[in-house]
Amino acid sequence: MMKNEKPLLDWPAAGVTRAPYKVMSDPQIYAWEQQNIFRGPVWNYLCLEAEIPEPGSYRTTHIGDTPVIVVRDKEGGIQAMVNRCSHKGALLCVEAGGKRQAFTCLYHGWAYDLHGKLLGVPFQHGIGGHGGMPADFDLCQHNLEHIRAESFQGLVFGTFSTAAEPLETYLGPSMAAHLRRVFHKPVQVLGYHHQVLHNNWKLYMENSRDPYHATILHTFYATFKLNRLTMDGGVTIDHEGWHSMNFSKGATLREGNYEGTGIRSVLEDVGLADPSLLERRQEFHDGITVAVQSIFPTCVNQQIYNTLALRQLVPQGPGRAELHWTFFGYTDDDPDLRQMRLTQSNLIGPAGYVSIDDGVIGEYVQRGIAGSGMESSAVMEMGGHEIASTTGSRATEAPLRGFWSGYRSLMGL
Binding site for other proteins (CB under 8 A): 96, 189-198, 217, 219-220, 223, 267, 270, 272-274, 276-277, 322, 327, 342-343, 345-346, 349-351, 353, 356-357, 359-361, 363
Rounded to the nearest whole angstrom, what is the least distance from the CB of residue 313 to other proteins in the complex?
A: 14
Rounded to the nearest whole angstrom, what is the least distance from the CB of residue 227 to other proteins in the complex?
A: 14
Answer for the pair 310, 353: CB distance below 8 angstroms, yes or no.
no
Whole-angstrom CA distances from 164 to 37, 147, 241, 284, 410 are 11, 12, 17, 32, 12
Nearest CA-CA partner of 227 in 355, 401, 359: 355
Question: Is the CB of 5 or the CB of 268 nearer to other proteins?
Answer: 268
Instruction: Say how far residue 203 (Cα) sits from the centre of its chain.
Output: 13
Rounded to the nearest whole angstrom, what is the least distance from the CB of residue 270 to other proteins in the complex?
A: 5
Question: Is the CB of 75 or the CB of 274 nearer to other proteins?
Answer: 274
Rounded to the nearest whole angstrom, what is the least distance from the CB of residue 188 to other proteins in the complex?
A: 10
Question: CB neighbours of 5 closer than 8 A, spacing ≥ 6?
Answer: none
Fill in the DSSP letter of residue 140. G
Sign of CA dihedral 154, 41, 64, 236: positive
Q: How far apart are CA 68 and CA 180, in angstroms?
A: 26
Question: Is the CB of 175 or the CB of 197 nearer to other proteins?
Answer: 197
Question: Is the CB of 250 or the CB of 359 nearer to other proteins?
Answer: 359
Rounded to the nearest whole angstrom, what is the least distance from the CB of residue 57 to other proteins in the complex?
A: 14
Question: Is the CB of 263 or the CB of 267 nearer to other proteins?
Answer: 267
Length reported for the chain = 413
Rounded to the nearest whole angstrom, what is the least distance from the CB of residue 308 to other proteins in the complex?
A: 11
Rounded to the nearest whole angstrom, what is the least distance from the CB of residue 224 to other proteins in the complex?
A: 9
Rounded to the nearest whole angstrom, what is the least distance from the CB of residue 327 to other proteins in the complex?
A: 5
For residue 88, how many other CB atoms are within 10 A of its CB? 10
Question: Is the CB of 241 or the CB of 352 nearer to other proteins?
Answer: 352
Question: Is the CB of 128 or the CB of 262 nearer to other proteins?
Answer: 262
For residue 191, how many other CB atoms are within 10 A of its CB? 12
Rounded to the nearest whole angstrom, what is the least distance from the CB of residue 13 to other proteins in the complex?
A: 34
Question: Is the CB of 11 or the CB of 221 nearer to other proteins?
Answer: 221
Rounded to the nearest whole angstrom, what is the least distance from the CB of residue 73 to other proteins in the complex?
A: 24
In degrees and rounded to multiples of 5, residue 78 shows phi and psi of: -115, 130
Whole-angstrom CA distances from 56 to 79, 97, 109, 180, 285 are 10, 10, 18, 27, 37
Question: CB neighbours of 261 closer than 8 A, spacing ≥ 6?
Answer: none
Q: How far apart are CA 353 and CA 339, in angstroms?
A: 18
Question: Is the CB of 240 or the CB of 279 nearer to other proteins?
Answer: 279
Whole-angstrom CA distances from 10 to 21, 33, 37, 201, 245 are 12, 16, 18, 21, 29
Question: CB neighbours of 267 closer than 8 A, spacing ≥ 6?
Answer: 219, 223
Question: CB neighbours of 363 closer than 8 A, spacing ≥ 6?
Answer: 197, 198, 199
Sign of CA dihedral 48, 53, 59, 63: positive
Question: Is the CB of 344 or the CB of 405 nearer to other proteins?
Answer: 344
Rounded to the nearest whole angstrom, what is the least distance from the CB of residue 189 to other proteins in the complex?
A: 7
Q: Hey, is 263 helix, strand or coil?
A: coil
Q: How far apart are CA 241 and CA 383, in angstroms?
A: 15
Question: Is the CB of 96 or the CB of 337 nearer to other proteins?
Answer: 96
